[in-house]
Amino acid sequence: RPASDPQKGTLDLFLNPYINVSQQKASGIDFDFRLSTPINNGKFVLRASATRNLHQQYQLFPEDEVDEYNGTLGTQGFSGGPKWVGNVDLQYTFPSDKVTLRYGVRYVGKQDSTEAAGEAVAGLGVGPVDVDLVAETYWEHGASIQFKIEDLGQITFGVNNLFNTKPPRISAFPTSA
């Protein structure tokens, strides 16, 4: 509760997800590709990896039905996740072997829990509200330059999230202006 609340210091809400679960399973397919080749007396390296999650399942008690959370945001205490994630990394080392440029892209696929949420109620007599629990695909770019300094080591300057891309924002309840 905020400091201005006359009952400050009291608990409003306590969430305690279960620690022991009947089962939690994940399965998927991993893809990896690497190409290394000389270009203009330097070295070019391409690395790509992706995962296609097939199942992300959770069962709290043995008598419960197994819930499938693949491609969803999950719910409180139960993780979900995207069906697809991946990375591509391009790297070029100049012929002197003292300077390396790198460019990378990270992908996180769409996650949608709208159907699982069903109809939500805002409370205080407002009634049902439509919820949109969709996290759209997310791309993040990064770049770096690395210098090798003889008898000293390496210095790398880089930028993660090169274009300052904001991750998808979602909310279980609409906000008012």
Q: What is the pLDDT of residue 176?
A: 44
- Select the more confidently predicted residue: 149 or 20: 149
Alpha carbon of 57 to those of 85, 120, 137, 176: distances in Å?
18, 24, 22, 35
CB-CB neighbours of 156 under 10 Å: 10
> Is 80 within 8 Å of 46 (Cβ atoms)?
no
- pTM value is 0.74
Contacts of 39 (CB under 8 A, 6+ apart): 92
- The pLDDT tens digits for 38-88 are 999 999 999 999 999 999 888 878 888 888 888 888 765 566 789 999 999
